[in-house]
Chain A
Amino acid sequence: MSSAIVLDRVSRTFKSAGREVTAVDDLSLAIEPGEYVCIVGRSGGGKSTTVNLILGLLAPTTGTVRVFGHDPARDGDVLRGRVACIFQSDRLLPWRTAVDNVRLPLEIVGRDEARLAVSPAEWLSRFKLDGFEEAYPHELSGGMRQRVALARAMACDPDIILADESFASLDAITGEALRQEFRDAAKETGKTVIHITHSIDEAMSLADRILVFGRPGRVCAEHDVSRERDGRTLNAAALEQDIKAVMAGPHA
């Protein structure tokens, strides 16, 4: 089976205040279709840069990024509608109602709403926003807006979803509920997910695999959580200690 996402020796540098800053350094990873991968790491570890590289919003300075075999920075048209991102903030267009925000990717991709298995309104309903279809973002609470963003990401049935600290701005209870709803929806529909988070607990509860990033962005450690979970050998406390040790170590 070919990988959904492959990053091969990718580096990305930025110019800041006259000097070069390396955000991602010699990063290699491969994500299989249907996998739920969490990336954890300290701030400034190049996690969001990695998301932007996969989205094609940035091109790598060196190395190659491939999404279903295509370069996302150059072959955007081929990947249109196949990759969605849920950002840390909801990023809803304020002039669109909730349901129109969910429709945005469908309009861009040119997908006929009538032929969808799940309509935008049904996605809103699934994320418990019945009755708020015609509400504008300013009329919704933070948690509700983030639900709309989740519905928007799911609406055009992408193959890959990138979640960049998507639940970080929510309170613990709302965040927990949304995380589970999102994971269930992603697993049911067979999405490949890269979920970036600062929370080790969140990563352990959601991921099939956890990648621990060091600074500048590269994989310092990797844990196959699903195998341990399935074999009932997952020792959450020990794993948390391991991840913390890597994050606090000299390479992080």
Chain B
Amino acid sequence: MSVEAAIATRQEPERRPRTRWPAWLSSFNLPGAVVVGLLVIGWQAIAGVLPAFLFPPIQDILRAERELLGEPAFYATILHTYARIIGSVGLSFALAVAAGIGAASSRLVDRSAAPLLALMQGVPAICWIIFAILWFRDIEIRIVFIVVISTAPNFFLQSRDAVLAISKDLRDMVLSWRPTKRQVLTKLILPSLVPILLTTILVNLGIATKVGVTAELLAGVGGIGGELRTAEEQFRMEMALAWTLPLVAFIFITGSLTRLAEKRLLRWRPPMERPNE
């Protein structure tokens, strides 16, 4: 085949002509916005029927949020919770991915990890929270323990399976150059793990937010969970919702950052197309 012919066969996805919108508008998720709008309308309708301590009107929630935004302690509290979640997920990532790669490389490690994994997955998160409260005096260790226990199995299994799924063809190609173990790790294994780990980070941040805040609430250890407990004790639903919004914002921001990282790190992937597009 001539170069010209080869160039001609270079695969460019065929694009349908689209209406030109400004960049910010074309990336706007209109269907998502409609769903949020419907939820707000539905909430407001229910708030008109039920008492405010169950379903406070939107304006009450916004007023409570404005009140919180004016307090410096609010920022310290949410940053504390964010730091707990991110730090714990980071630790879980480092430990479980290393263990997952080890399990993929060694049957002994894989078999040894199996009962631990069953234990971590089989025991409900609420039990781990109780154990952590009883076992650890240090507040931060309680949170880290609970989040690591809850998220590590995902990191472990996904990284283990992703390493095992590396094609023998690619593995043999790299091994044929006689790399060191470190080179196999950096040039083959870690790049292969990136796609699945980005998704797992996203999923685990959601899990960590849920169990971390639950742990804060039950253990009474400050953070957003501690504030939710106070709001619950005072029957202030609008305040509970005002403290919930930073958690939603956290998931939204970390999700957006992960998607940005995906765009940058996975630009080598062919564009995915839905069957009917």
A residues apposed to B, CB below 8 Å: 52, 55-57, 76-77, 79-81, 83-85, 87, 89, 91, 93-97, 104-105, 107-109, 128-130, 135-141, 143-144, 171, 173-174, 177
- Min Cβ gap A61→B in Å is 19
Given contact pairs A87-B169, A94-B268, A95-B268, A143 touches B1 in the complex (Cβ within 8 A): yes
The interface centre, meaning the residue of A89, A104, A108 with most chain B CB atoms within 10 A of its CB, is A108
A89: chain B residues within 8 A (beta carbon): 169
Decide if B107 is an interface residue (CB 8 Å cutoff). Answer: no
Whether the pair A93, B176 counts as a contact (CB closer than 8 A) is no
Whether the pair A79, B178 counts as a contact (CB closer than 8 A) is yes
Whether the pair A173, B178 counts as a contact (CB closer than 8 A) is no
Nearest CB to that of B270 among chain A residues? A138
Segment 149-193 of B: residues with Cβ below 8 Å from A: 169-170, 172-179, 183, 187-188, 191
- Choose one: A55, A95, A129; the contact of B194 (CB below 8 Å): A95
Whether the pair B175, A57 counts as a contact (CB closer than 8 A) is yes
- Min Cβ gap A94→B in Å is 6
B3: chain A residues within 8 A (beta carbon): 128-130
A93: chain B residues within 8 A (beta carbon): 170, 174, 187-188, 191
Whether the pair A136, B173 counts as a contact (CB closer than 8 A) is no
Nearest CB to that of A51 among chain B residues? B176
Whether the pair A138, B269 counts as a contact (CB closer than 8 A) is yes
Whether the pair B187, A107 counts as a contact (CB closer than 8 A) is yes
Decide if B10 is an interface residue (CB 8 Å cutoff). Answer: yes
B267: chain A residues within 8 A (beta carbon): 136
Nearest CB to that of B170 among chain A residues? A91
Whether the pair B177, A57 counts as a contact (CB closer than 8 A) is no
Given contact pairs A141-B9, A141-B10, A91 touches B169 in the complex (Cβ within 8 A): yes
Nearest CB to that of A176 among chain B residues? B1
Nearest CB to that of B271 among chain A residues? A138
- Min Cβ gap B131→A in Å is 41
| Number of B interface residues in the complex (CB < 8 A) | 26
Decide if B6 is an interface residue (CB 8 Å cutoff). Answer: yes
Given contact pairs A91-B173, A138-B270, A77 touches B6 in the complex (Cβ within 8 A): no
Whether the pair A108, B187 counts as a contact (CB closer than 8 A) is yes
B2: chain A residues within 8 A (beta carbon): 177
Decide if B27 is an interface residue (CB 8 Å cutoff). Answer: no
Nearest CB to that of B188 among chain A residues? A93
Whether the pair A96, B268 counts as a contact (CB closer than 8 A) is yes
- Choose one: A130, A141, A173; the contact of B11 (CB below 8 Å): A141
- Min Cβ gap A6→B in Å is 19
Whether the pair A87, B178 counts as a contact (CB closer than 8 A) is no
Whether the pair A171, B1 counts as a contact (CB closer than 8 A) is yes
Whether the pair A57, B172 counts as a contact (CB closer than 8 A) is yes
Whether the pair A138, B268 counts as a contact (CB closer than 8 A) is yes
Chain B 18-59 per-residue mask, 1 if CB under 8 angstroms from chain A, else 0? 000000000000000000000000000000000000000000
Given contact pairs A136-B268, A141-B6, A77 touches B178 in the complex (Cβ within 8 A): yes
Given contact pairs A95-B194, A141-B9, A80 touches B178 in the complex (Cβ within 8 A): yes
Whether the pair B176, A144 counts as a contact (CB closer than 8 A) is no
B177: chain A residues within 8 A (beta carbon): 80-81, 84, 104-105, 108-109
* Given A81-B178, A107-B187, A108-B187, 14 new contacts (CB under 8 A): A56-B178, A85-B176, A87-B169, A87-B173, A89-B169, A93-B170, A93-B174, A104-B174, A135-B10, A138-B11, A138-B268, A139-B11, A141-B11, A144-B6
CA distance A68 to B184 in the complex (A): 25
Whether the pair B183, A108 counts as a contact (CB closer than 8 A) is yes
Nearest CB to that of A156 among chain B residues? B177
CA distance A87 to B177 in the complex (A): 13
